[in-house]
Amino acid sequence: MSDTKPAIHVYSAINAVMLALSKEGITKDRKNQQGSGYSFRGIDDVYNVLCSLLASNKLTMLPRCTERIQEERQAKSGGALFYTTVKMEFDLVSALDGSCHTIGTYGEAMDSGDKSTNKAMSAAYKYAAFQAFCIPTEADNDADAHTHEVTTKKPLGEPVVSLATTDQISELSMLSLDGCKARIIAALEAYKRKDVTDFTEKEAAAVLKKLNNERVAAATKSIKK
């Protein structure tokens, strides 16, 4: 009986994708539309090259956002810019044996509308791929197609902290089913939120603390009677 352990496919698959990209990499075929008009690689370029390589090597790259922070800043034009940072994890999973290796990175982006989170997630994916597969690059780090010019670092509004965690949302949902629905609705109205998933982590913590304190007080009062 052989003591040799079976090979873990995920690493050979990563190596195969790396080998395929080692010769030509991903060229900078796009131009920045503002500023000096430098060349860069877009997220679509990365998707187009990686998609067939991942599929042919039975490898998947599954994203997961674990943290999101957003600030509102002022553009030189006077308008608002939303600056978002996301912390991402990507599971590289073999479709052959289920073996998995997780990588993590951050993504940052600014947008004058509602796309800063999407852009930040795309940036995180792009650079995670470049680092995980050692995709050959040239010159300086890549950039997006548009460059936003910001005035001072003074924000227009308070930073938006991380959204409520999965555990907080689950606990709030359980409390809602356990007689606290009216108080949770009142908290949503107070914070001007539509759903418990819209709470920030700090808001959810404050609501949970208040509800749990009320439940403890009620239980203590019942025992004394």
Domains of the chain, each with CATH number or no CATH: 9-132 (3.30.390), 166-224 (no CATH)
Q: Residue count of the chain, please give it.
A: 225
Q: State the SS3 of 136-191.
A: CCCCCCCCCCCCCCECCCCCCCCCECCECCHHHHHHHHHHHHHHHHHHHHHHHHHH
Strands of the 100-111 sheet, one edge to the other: 59-74, 80-94, 100-111
Question: What integer pLDDT is reported at residue 5 of this predicted model?
Answer: 60
The answer to whether residue 156 scores a pLDDT higher than 50 is no
Question: What integer pLDDT is reported at residue 204 of this predicted model?
Answer: 87
Cα of first residue to Cα of last residue in the chain, in angstroms, is 71
Question: What integer pLDDT is reported at residue 222 of this predicted model?
Answer: 65
The residue that leads in pLDDT, 214 or 67, is: 67
Question: What integer pLDDT is reported at residue 218 of this predicted model?
Answer: 73
- 58 pLDDT band, cuts 50/70/90, is very high
Among 57-61, 167-171, 188-192, which range has the highest average pLDDT? Answer: 57-61
Closest residue by Cα to residue 209 from 181, 173, 179, 172: 172
pLDDT over 90 percentage in the chain: 31
- 28 pLDDT band, cuts 50/70/90, is low
Query: How many angstroms separate the CA atoms of 202 and 207, rounded?
Result: 9
Phi, psi of 140, deg, nearest 5: -85, 175
The answer to whether residue 139 scores a pLDDT higher than 60 is no
**Other Cβ atoms within 10 Å of 214 Cβ, number:** 12
Question: What integer pLDDT is reported at residue 55 of this predicted model?
Answer: 95
The answer to whether residue 17 scores a pLDDT higher than 80 is yes
Which tokens is 13 given? Answer: 């698959």
The answer to whether residue 82 scores a pLDDT higher than 50 is yes
